[in-house]
Amino acid sequence: MTINVLLYPNFTVLDAFGPVEVLGSLPGREMRYLSPDGGIVRSGQGVPVETEVMETMAPGGVLLIPGGMGSRPLAKDEAFLARLKALAEQADYVLCVCTGSALLARTGLLDGRRATSNKTAFDWVRSCGPDVLWQRQARWVADGKYYTSAGVSAGTDMALGFVRDLFGAEEAETICRRMEYHWNRDADNDIF
Amino acid sequence: MTINVLLYPNFTVLDAFGPVEVLGSLPGREMRYLSPDGGIVRSGQGVPVETEVMETMAPGGVLLIPGGMGSRPLAKDEAFLARLKALAEQADYVLCVCTGSALLARTGLLDGRRATSNKTAFDWVRSCGPDVLWQRQARWVADGKYYTSAGVSAGTDMALGFVRDLFGAEEAETICRRMEYHWNRDADNDIF
């Protein structure tokens, strides 16, 4: 299984690399780091990550979309959104963290589906997908091939939940133990 | 305050970027990403991060040392350990996550001090610093300017604890809320 991580300027570092820690632990996985233009992309915390152009993604696998302040300009960029829609349609699964779900919502692919996002930007995210069935109170939501999580660290909980759904609880618990992670195992338990 | 993140081939991605999410939220902070040789460094999960040579670090600030499989060869590399010792002495604070504490222990700077590390590598880490007062049951330990944490995700708890120690509980709780993070606030509470 290939894990395709879509980065962009001003992504939130833990949105991407919490799930990467989890999914990167899967046996036999391949990791790819992509972005709209390729080259070095800096997170909101200035982490410079080398990426390849997003269209080099092969069909299938997982597409991971982090949130971050950089999602605001991209949510208005129709050319980018068309490219994102094409990739999301080709992926077997799409995992969005935080305001990453706003970007996916703007493609229309979440219309009529249940989804969530982080709390502080919730109204803006909702405006990005008026026909999405937004769940305000959720740590993460799975609907078909689309997984969406609440803010930042909720993405790590969701990634473990995704591993549990696909590969079973034992695999998820093994990864959780190795990470010495306090996993919020219940997708509906949202204290924020 | 400058946050200097020391990366090396096969570092563990969440060890570094959980604390970076926390410390990168501090007002006025500067973030630097360093490595022994500079250039692109790949984490164990294949994340390619652009770095500068470690000696470009300015005195003062925070030095963050993640763990990972790549710590094993470095713990035997006397030339690297001498360079690491020089940087750690210059830093105002040194934060080690997981097996990052093995590297710091090998410099001798933890001798006679309390420290911890992750569970699965604990015996190896202990062998890297026979004169360190290792605490097996701890989420994180602070002793003077040296902070050390248990495995992987414990580094994020420690980073929030470090912010609380230096800047107060309100600052730490603000960052925690923005991250929607289930913070294990008690350094002594270790369920692993």
pLDDT of B192 = 85
Give the residues of chain B that fall short of pLDDT 50: none
Residue linked to tokens 């001003």: A10
Round to the nearest angstrom and report the end-to-end CA distance of chain B.
33
Round to whole Å and give the CA distance between B163 and B176.
11
- Across all residues in chain A, what is the average pLDDT? 96
CB contacts of A46 in chain B (<8 Å) are 24, 31, 33
Asked if pLDDT for residue A176 goes beyond 90, the answer is yes
CB contacts of B24 in chain A (<8 Å) are 13, 44-46
Cross-chain Cβ contact A17/B12 below 8 Å: no
Tokens of B25: 């939220």
Asked if pLDDT for residue A192 goes beyond 90, the answer is no
Confidence at A191, pLDDT banded by 50, 70, 90: confident
pLDDT of B190 = 87
pLDDT of B43 = 97
- Tens digit of pLDDT for each residue in A113-167? 999 999 889 999 999 999 999 999 999 999 999 999 998 899 999 999 999 999 9
Q: Which H or E run contains A48?
A: strand A48-53
pLDDT of A26 = 95
Pick the CATH number of B2-179 from 3.20.20.150, 3.40.50.300, 3.30.420.40, 3.40.50.880: 3.40.50.880
Domain ranges, ordered by start, for chain A: 2-179
Kindly report the number of other CB atoms within 10 A of residue A127's CB atom: 12
A98 is catalytic: yes
Please give the model's pTM, rounded to 2 decimal places. 0.96
